[in-house]
Amino acid sequence: MERLETLDGKTWDNFVQSPTAVLILGKSDCEACLSWTKDLTQFLVTDEQYKDVRFGKIFLDTPGLVSFKRASPWLSEVDVLPYNVIYRNGEREKMFAGSGIERLTNRLQRLIET
């Protein structure tokens, strides 16, 4: 099973309600987003430390995301993609633009330790 889930208008809400979930936001024509998706997918193949964390991606130019966009008014302030949001039980805990496994794991580790 692929650890980086592709989410849509019907699956995003259940995903963010998870105990810990990392949501990657991008667009299908964004080279940096596609590169980050590839890097994260490769990392997750061998990752053992974050097995209890769900990882998902949403391409914002995909049809059917009205419910996600309405529930996320903060999206209007996102001006750099890819954009990462770490949720705990449905609450946004950490958000950051860009990519990088080390940046992501540092934030996850700090969150898990609290």
What DSSP string describes 8-56? -TTTHHHHHTSSSEEEEEE-TT-HHHHHHHHHHHHHHHH--TTTTSEEE
> pTM of the prediction?
0.95
pLDDT at residue 114, as a whole number: 74
Instruction: Assess whether pLDDT exceeds 90 at residue 8.
Output: yes
Q: What is the rounded average pLDDT for all residues in the chain?
A: 95
pLDDT of residue 1: 62
Spatial distance between the Cα atoms of 91 and 114, rounded to a whole number of angstroms = 15
Homologous superfamily in CATH for domain 4-113: Glutaredoxin (3.40.30.10)
In the chain, the percentage of residues whose pLDDT exceeds 90 is 95
- Summarised one tens digit per residue, pLDDT across range 41-77 is 999 999 999 999 999 999 999 999 999 999 999 999 9
Location of structure tokens 């700090």: 110
Measured from the Cβ of residue 106, the count of other Cβ atoms closer than 10 Å reads: 11
Band (pLDDT 50/70/90 cuts) for residue 37 is very high
- Domain layout of the chain by residue ranges: 4-113
**What are the tens digits of pLDDT across the range 84-104?**
999 999 999 999 999 999 999
